[in-house]
Structure 1
Amino acid sequence: KRARSDENAVKFGRTKAEKARDSGAADKAGRHVDGHKRET
């Protein structure tokens, strides 16, 4: 079972937690930038 999980880790990359963290960081950065946009 461990060997299969290692193969899948190489094949598919990141864990669900890593994807969620990166997605949350991108959303936060986008909101931060949107909050600083000037209205014209």
Structure 2
Amino acid sequence: MSKQQQIKYLIECYTIPFETAYEKLSVKVWNMMMEAEEIRD
């Protein structure tokens, strides 16, 4: 594995978990907002 491939691999290993965690968090926040909207109606 070349140096560039190693760096790319490391970046993917670190960013992918953050992206999935961020997506889950966004969905959670979105759902909470939707529930709050329903309560107000």
TM-score (normalised: structure 2): 0.59
Higher helix share: 2
Aligned residues: 34
Q: Which runs of 4+ in 1 moved over 4 A?
A: none
Identical-residue share of aligned pairs (%): 6
User: Unaligned stretches of 5+ in structure 1?
Assistant: none
Q: Measure, in 2, the Cα distance between the counterparts of 1:32 and 1:17.
A: 23
TM-score (normalised: structure 1): 0.60
User: Unaligned stretches of 5+ in structure 2?
Assistant: none
RMSD: 2.2
